[in-house]
Amino acid sequence: MIKEIDDDAVVLRTYKSGESDRIAVLWTRKHGKVRVLAKGIRKSTSRLGGNLEPLAYVHVDLVKSRGELYITRHVQHRERYPVMRSSYERINAGYAVVEVIDAIPSDDVADEGIFELLIRVLGSIDDEHFVPDLIPASFFFKLLSHDGSEPVVDNCVNCGSAGPLVAFNAQVGGTLCANCRSGHAISHDALVLIRRILGGDLASVLREQSAPGAGEVMTIAHDAIEQHFGKRLKVTRASAPITLSSSDQ
């Protein structure tokens, strides 16, 4: 374990520790997942309380504490994401993204590519020109590609036939023809949308209000990312808004 960390980080989540402390789980640019003990963070006067809110993009100066924990020497905001924080829909999109990052096994080596993806997706959620609905789904597909697990969507993943493709099965890794079908039925609209997302047309997809097939694409992306990490994820399926504390000052 490294003694000191001076790095950029995004706060994935925080949780209670003892009477007045919190642990913040960070994804750092160069050191992967890091846990930070924030002493007295739950007291209302704590300045660090605001800086280590979930979804904060910060620069941190950390020193090793007990066990696997670090303590903060200095925390500074890099981005405050005001557009994201002004909308429950956008905040929930942000939560869906950091929950998936948090699902990456802790013992994985640091991956700067994941950090760059994370920063880019948070920037997209914070961009008022983009409709947030499909941002988590497109992020999940990008993450799968990054991990070398991009789903097959151009032919049948089982027999290689060009189609028509009528189903998607995350377990077998992509689309299926009528003869091989399993998993979820997929519409032509949803298939086109996934191909656009994976094929470099994401920016224009995100400018469209309620793109045809969007609901299906979200379900497929969630299935695929859960399959990839081998676990159920809560927030990605949450329908009710998640309330954020308002202490981001």
Nearer to Zn ion, 37 or 176 (CB): 176
**How many residues in total does the chain contain?**
249
Nearer to Zn ion, 34 or 156 (CB): 156
Compute the least distance from the CB of residue 220 to Zn ion, in Å: 17
Nearer to Zn ion, 152 or 244 (CB): 152
List the interface residues with Zn ion, window 31-70 (CB under 5 A): none
Compute the least distance from the CB of residue 150 to Zn ion, in Å: 19
Nearer to Zn ion, 104 or 167 (CB): 167
Angle between helices 135-146 and 188-198 (to 10 degrees): 60
Compute the least distance from the CB of residue 161 to Zn ion, in Å: 5
Compute the least distance from the CB of residue 160 to Zn ion, in Å: 7
Give the number of C-alpha atoms closer than 13 A to the C-alpha of residue 198, restricted to the C-beta side: 21
Compute the least distance from the CB of residue 64 to Zn ion, in Å: 53
Compute the least distance from the CB of residue 182 to Zn ion, in Å: 10
Report the DSSP beta bridge partners of residue 31: none
List the interface residues with Zn ion, window 150-209 (CB under 5 A): 156, 158-159, 161, 177, 180
Nearer to Zn ion, 125 or 156 (CB): 156
Nearer to Zn ion, 92 or 158 (CB): 158
How far apart, in whole angstroms, are the C-alpha atoms of residue 77 and residue 135? 23
Nearer to Zn ion, 37 or 156 (CB): 156
Q: In this structure, are residues 51 and 65 in contact, taking their beta carbons and an 8 Å threshold?
A: no
Compute the least distance from the CB of residue 173 to Zn ion, in Å: 13
Cα separations in angstroms, 139 against 12, 117, 202, 221: 15, 8, 10, 9
Angle between helices 188-198 and 214-229 (to 10 degrees): 60
In single-letter form, the type of residue at position 157 comes to V
* Interacting span for Zn ion (CB under 5 A) from 44-52, 69-77, 149-157, 197-205: 149-157
Number of residues forming the site for Zn ion (CB under 5 A): 6
Interface residues with Zn ion (CB under 5 A)? 156, 158-159, 161, 177, 180
